Amino acid sequence: MLNSLIAYQWEIFISLEVLSVIALLLFGIVRYFLDRKKVSRLFIGVFLGFLFLEAVLALIIYQSTGEISTFQIVIALFLIYACTFGVFDFLKLDRWMREKIGGWRGIELLTEKDYRIIERNKDPKYLAKKYRRSSLIHLTLFVIVQSIFWMYGTKDFEELIGYLKDLSWIEEGTPEESPYPNEAVYAVGMIWGIVFIVDFIWSWSYTLSPSKPKE
């Protein structure tokens, strides 16, 4: 059984992701077209159940191999996103779907609270504050996870600080010269670093260069 999980870990993960997408599609059909809000919440529960199974699968694989691989990193990033920014993106998508589908069907699916949120999102000051907060959350997650990566790839705290003070290893472009434990973690860490810098600059652009209020 354990050998099968290790051998087919990616196939199992992809299958769970496909089932998760199906659960979200069923949620949308039941909620937006059948107007069964309570029933639709069951599919959200199913979706969260699949996320839990992915986490358990990653933990089992790690306990069996004793190594952090691309597989665990991918699942960890999926879970981190789902539990942080994914929640807000889902709420935003849900509101947008109710607005569009309600217009197509000629019925009102938005609440007064939804309209207040839509109006608030037109305020540049609110957007600047929201993106400052999200950038700080991203910064916290980035520092914590990268610290874990570096602790696995260095012998002691002194060596870790050495890499932090001397960033010449970035120019080398090889996992062997970096504080990361292996090539997979190195690739994820470097790509995430680029994404973090772009996201941080973009988020703070709302503060440094705010747009005009939308009518």
What pLDDT, on a 0 to 100 scale, did the predictor assign at position 133? 92
Task: Grade residue 202 by pLDDT with cuts at 50, 70 and 90.
Answer: very high
Task: Grade residue 83 by pLDDT with cuts at 50, 70 and 90.
Answer: confident
The answer to whether residues 80 and 141 touch, using CB atoms and an 8 Å cutoff, is yes
The answer to whether residues 77 and 188 touch, using CB atoms and an 8 Å cutoff, is yes
Statement: the pTM of the whole predicted model exceeds 0.85: no
Does pLDDT of 215 surpass 60? no
pLDDT in tens, 65-82: 877 777 888 888 888 888
pLDDT in tens, 7-43: 888 899 999 999 999 998 999 888 888 888 888 889 9
DSSP SS3 for 182: coil
φ and ψ at residue 124, rounded to 5 degrees = -60, -35
Task: Grade residue 100 by pLDDT with cuts at 50, 70 and 90.
Answer: confident
Task: Grade residue 212 by pLDDT with cuts at 50, 70 and 90.
Answer: low
Nearest one of 149, 100, 133, 108 to 204, comparing CA atoms:
133
What pLDDT, on a 0 to 100 scale, did the predictor assign at position 43? 92
What pLDDT, on a 0 to 100 scale, did the predictor assign at position 173? 84
DSSP SS3 for 173: coil
Nearest one of 12, 130, 142 to 77, comparing CA atoms:
142
pLDDT > 70 in the chain, percent:
98
What pLDDT, on a 0 to 100 scale, did the predictor assign at position 50? 92
pLDDT in tens, 133-172: 999 999 998 999 899 999 988 998 999 999 999 989 998 8
